[in-house]
């Protein structure tokens, strides 16, 4: 899942060149649904729109990364999401436990 997080940081830092490099690498690896979905969002919406706060797709991306980080037990990732997006709206009330 390291490539998944790399793609997320490419969105966050608007690095299209690295996205293209990762795309070539991803095509050589076995299929991964979440990585493929993130690449699809990049292709459809573009990096700038995915990064724009207030866009619905932006929140979807942050939720996607947040829940993957929780699954992977990467507290540093999901704590940084909370730090950057203090107003994040959680889809699941059970996820509130991660705030405290």
pLDDT tier at 43 (50, 70, 90 boundaries)?
very high
pLDDT, mean of residues 84-97 = 52
| Cα–Cα distance, 70 to 93 (Å, whole number) | 15
Domain ranges of the chain: 2-99
> How many angstroms separate the Cα of 77 from the Cα of each of 40, 54, 80?
22, 21, 5
Please list, residue by residue across 48-68, b when 16 or more beta carbons sit within 10 angstroms of its beta carbon and e when fewer do. Answer: eebbeeeeeebbebbbbbbbb
The model carries a pTM of 0.69
Among 37-41, 52-56, 81-85, name the most confident range. 37-41
């Amino acid at each position: 899942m390291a490539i998944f997080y790399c793609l997320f940081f490419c969105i966050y830092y608007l690095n299209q060149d690295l996205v293209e490099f990762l795309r070539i690498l991803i095509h050589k690896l076995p299929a991964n649904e979440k990585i493929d979905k993130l690449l699809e969002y990049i292709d459809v919406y573009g990096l700038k729109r995915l990064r724009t706060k207030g866009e619905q797709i932006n929140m979807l991306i942050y939720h996607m990364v947040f829940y993957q980080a929780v699954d992977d037990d990467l507290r540093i990732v999901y704590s940084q999401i909370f730090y950057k997006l203090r107003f994040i709206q959680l889809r699941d009330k059970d996820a509130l436990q991660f705030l405290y």
